[in-house]
Structure 1
Amino acid sequence: MTTIVPTSEEDPFLAVVQFTSQLAWADAGPEAAEPEISRLCREAEESIVAGKWLELASLMVTSAELVSSKMSEKDLECTYTIICSLVKNANSPEDVLEMVNAISSKVVQQPNDKASLRLKILFNLYNLLDHPYARFQVYMKSLTLAVEGKVTEYVVPSFKKIDNFLKEWNVDSKDQRELFLAIAKVLRENKSLVKESLNFLTKYLATFSNDDAQVLGEAKEEAVRAVIEFVKASSIFQCDLLDLPAVAQLEKDTKYAPVYQLLKIFLTQRLNAYSEFKAANSECLQSYGLVDEDCVTKMRLLSLVDLASDESGKIPYTSIKDTLQVKEEEVELWIVKAITAKLIDCKMDQMNQVVIVSRCSEREFGSKQWQSLRTKLATWRDNIGNVISTIESNKVTEEGSQSSSSTAAIQGLSVR
């Protein structure tokens, strides 16, 4: 971060106004330029004397943006360092918010002009602030700039700290909603971060409840996007979309009902259900850019997971062949694919033509899965309790036996 050490309180601010106004009027000639430069400097000085820091910030940032393309990166950074420092002079929290909005809105107006530097300016402004909500506003502006200026790589690392940021900012559900959607859009720019993008898009959709009937409709397009992203993703086999109200509303929507049906097939049904859907909705698949071959591949793997969860630890090769609709010699190939994708842990008994499953992934984690987990935990707790009771019982028995042996030994010594 650049550090400015002023010789007096007003000098840096007046210097910036004079510098930017001279650049703005450089081609107008002295007769036209000098009166305008003097006027701007006078307005700035009056604002400083009156302590009208918001007006000064608006004047300075407007002047700076008019000539930003004429400035070197060093000059632009120095100029904005001085402008941003004005937030420390704000007279109230409300003024801080207005000042931050005035500065950050101008910074993001020209995303294609020195985008990475503009992002750095926003980060510097963020670090100058003590006001939690003002920090949130600046962070949101940085996400917008990152996407429009194509510099998303600079903001992606910060997403790991989002939970901590949310605690610090203490924003309401509406602001959280905007944040999650903005992050999903940033991640969407990078094709290698599809899983992370879908994760934040799911967080966004999860902020809607059935009580939000008036705004639930605004999530419809993003709900469709989330479903299509999940279906397209070749390495994502689990999601928690099905029971979300923002997604469930698609089921009764004339236009999007097939999308919800497709999600239901990928999360709860097998390949035969997808084949029937494709026969009746081929245009729907094409309209969303879904490739049938890719969908079939994913559904075969998901169907194999479904088989593994249904059978009691053993799956006959014939069941895999029929369910996945493959040739007999391809069965083991698909088992290996499922293992590679970490969907199942198993051993192949080639002699008996069965797969012995030790673990399989869940396609979704809803109320049914929570209940199953609760039951398992209760069983484990009871088993551990029984083990502890047995150990304590054995310990008491052993101590009693040792006590009896000691008594007998003492009595034997007394006899002698």
Structure 2
Amino acid sequence: MTVPAVFMDLAPEDQAQELRIFFKGLGAEISDEKSPRGIEDDLHKIIGVCDACFKEGDEKDIENILNNIVSILIHIPVERAENLILAFCEKLKKATGLTLGSVCLKALWLLFQSLEEKSPMRYHVYYNLVQIARNVDQVQAVYSGVEDLKEQFKAFPPNNEQMQKLLRLLHEILLSCKKGDQAAAVMVELLGTYTAENASEARQDAQHCIQAALADPNTFLLDPLLALKPVKFLEGELIHDLLFIFVQEKLPAYITFYKNHKDFVETHIGLNHEQNMKKMRLLTFMQLAETHPEMSFETIQNELQIAEEDVESFIIDVLKTKLVRARMDQSGRKVLISNTMHRTFGRPQWMQLRDLLAAWKTNLSSVQDGMKTVATAQMELAAKAKTSKAH
């Protein structure tokens, strides 16, 4: 059966009838006659059977059909199209398979882009878009970062509850896609939506945030979490104590905590002890590197509680993270540190940065003065040469 041309030059009512005829031809339970109650009732019935085309035709045909439905939807005033849009989203969300899911993702993205920027329905369409993107492993097609997300809804921001729901979904999906850094940024944004007045309501989100950050093998900068109001609300609890260890303490502190609260670590919050040890060793090494530009293998072995034969492989693993810049002197059995990322960035680090910038400014001034001296000397030589030629 011939697929109706996308965005064909017909009135929405006539376009809807063409779709009715098409779906009836596929065997769907729908009349090919226009509804006496108008275009909205037509579209309601069409959306109800639109999944009939999922079983017929190729990818392009299905995309054309869905785009036809979108072209009618956007002609209906948004206040009357809300239920239709939600029903359409639900139908597309139920599509199975990567190919069909990708087609549905394109159609819903077209709807999202076609809605007015101030339409409150853009949020609902986007939420469903993210869910479909998860199903087809294409979340990066609809999400590129927190700032871009805010820009999408700049004209009509979702309410706080809606944004929290969306951020939780994104966090869950990004973690499952092993996008640890992006997931962490989303969770920080989520916790930032709570105020001092309602921080206690964020208890579950804050716990989930800490748990996910500690479990992610690629997340090492944990200090910013301590400043978040919902996380501060957990002070005095075991999960906050554990976070503090990962932010500021060394390996022995974690080992002691684990011995005293093994069940909490492994069962209650579901962390892997061996992974925790690996991360704490790396964090401890980073902290040592801040004050020890040169470290012997023996120091590393003792401080990190690893076997002598494992020291070199540990150093190689550290260098792979690019958190520390160093050179390994195997003959001298030591490591020469050139730079390291700070685990925390408090007043001492700001003072260090200030001193570094002040020295940089002084050096620039010296270079500038030197350049002026050179330029003046060249001008004087040029003037003398000109005078000599004149005589």
Give the TM-score range, shorter chain: 0.7 to 0.9
Conserved? CA contact 1:184–1:198, under 8 Å: yes
1:238 aligns to 2:224 (yes or no) = no
- The SS at the match of 2:235 is helix
Q: 2:45 aligns with which of 42, 63, 81?
A: 63
Q: Secondary structure at the match of 2:143?
A: helix
Match of 1:181 in 2: 168
Question: Identical aligned pairs, as a percentage?
Answer: 23
SS in structure 2 at match of 1:251: coil
Normalising by structure 1, what TM-score?
0.76
C-alpha distance in structure 2 between counterparts of 1:178 and 1:41, whole Å:
39
The offset of 1:346, in angstroms, is 1.6
Task: Output the aligned Cα RMSD.
Answer: 3.4
Q: Which amino acid aligns with 1:128?
A: S
Name the counterpart of 2:111. Answer: 125
Partner in structure 2 of residue 10 of structure 1:
13
The equivalent residue for 1:309 is 290
Determine the structure 1 residue equivalent to 2:265: 285
AA in 1 matched with 2:151: K
Which residue is equivalent to 1:276?
256
Contact 2:215 2:271 in 1 (8 A): yes
Amino acid at match of 1:3: V
Q: Which amino acid aligns with 1:340?
A: K
Measured at CA, do residues 347 and 162 of structure 1 come closer, stay the same or move farther in structure 2, by a change above 3 Å? closer
**Distance in 2 separating the partners of 1:162 and 1:341:** 24
Q: Name the amino acid aligned to 2:34.
A: C
Change (3 A) 1:82 1:348: closer
Sort the Cα spacing of 1:14 and 1:366 in 2 relative to 1 into closer, same or farther, 3 A: farther
* 8 Å Cα contact 1:184/1:201 also seen in 2: yes
What TM-score does the superposition give when structure 2 sets the normalisation length?
0.80
The one-letter code sitting in structure 2 at the alignment partner of 1:315 is M
Q: CA deviation at 1:308?
A: 0.2
Q: State yes or no: 1:104 paired with 2:86.
A: yes
CA contact (8 A) 2:297 2:335 kept: yes
Cα 1:137–1:376 shift into 2, 3 Å: farther
Please say if residues 21 and 63 of structure 1, whose CA atoms lie closer than 8 Å, have aligned partners that are also in contact.
no
Q: Quick check: 1:197 aligned with 2:175?
A: no
1:357 maps to what in 2? 337
Paired with 1:88 and 1:242, the residues of 2 have a C-alpha distance of 46
Gaps spanning 5+ residues in structure 1: where? Answer: 27-36, 49-55
Q: Which residue of 2 aligns with 1:226?
A: 209
Q: Name the structure 1 match of 2:371.
A: 391
1:47-104 Cα distance to aligned partner (Å, 9 max, x none): 35xxxxxxx1xx34542354345444558655543432234434xxxx3255255313
How many pairs does the alignment contain?
A: 373
SS of equivalent residue, structure 1 residue 250: coil
Q: Check 1:86–1:66 CA distance in 2 against 1; reply closer, same or farther (3 A cut).
A: closer
Distance 1:21 1:329 in 2: 73
Consecutive unaligned residues in structure 2, runs of 5 or more? none
| More helix per residue | 1
Larger Rg over CA atoms: 1
Among 132, 138, 141, which residue is 2:125 paired with?
138
Instruction: Tell me the CA shift for residue 6 of structure 1.
Output: 4.4
Shift in CA distance, 25/378, structure 1 to aligned 2, threshold 3 Å = same
Structure 1: distance between partners of 2:81 and 2:219: 43
